[in-house]
Amino acid sequence: MAMEGFRIAGMALSVLNAALLVVLLSVWVRNYRKFGSTMILGLVGFSAVLLLENLVAVFFFFRSMQMLYSSDPLVGQVVVGMRLLELVAIAFLTYVTVQ
């Protein structure tokens, strides 16, 4: 039952990451259209790839995460910890971008 909690937590964190990345992507696409800077284009690519990674993670949390991590609870904790660190990093980036 503990693994189910890690699966739900990991999925929730991935969804939050994806939501923040959609905000970043929309701001950076708007800025790229306005300024045309290659640096901003790089940020658009970065956020698009990271968004895709988080959407794939949500898919795996729904489909196969129970089988993948069912034998080792430590792995579930590590996955949730890494998703949490990613959320903190994306939250900082979103905060400074929106300001």
Contact call for residues 98 and 20 (beta carbons, < 8 A): no
How confident is the prediction along the chain (99 residues), in pLDDT tens digits per residue?
466 788 889 899 999 999 999 999 999 999 999 999 999 999 999 999 999 999 998 888 777 655 555 567 787 888 899 999 999 999 999 999 999
pTM of the entire predicted model: 0.89
C-alpha 91/C-alpha 99 separation (Å) is 12
Spans of all domains in the chain:
7-98
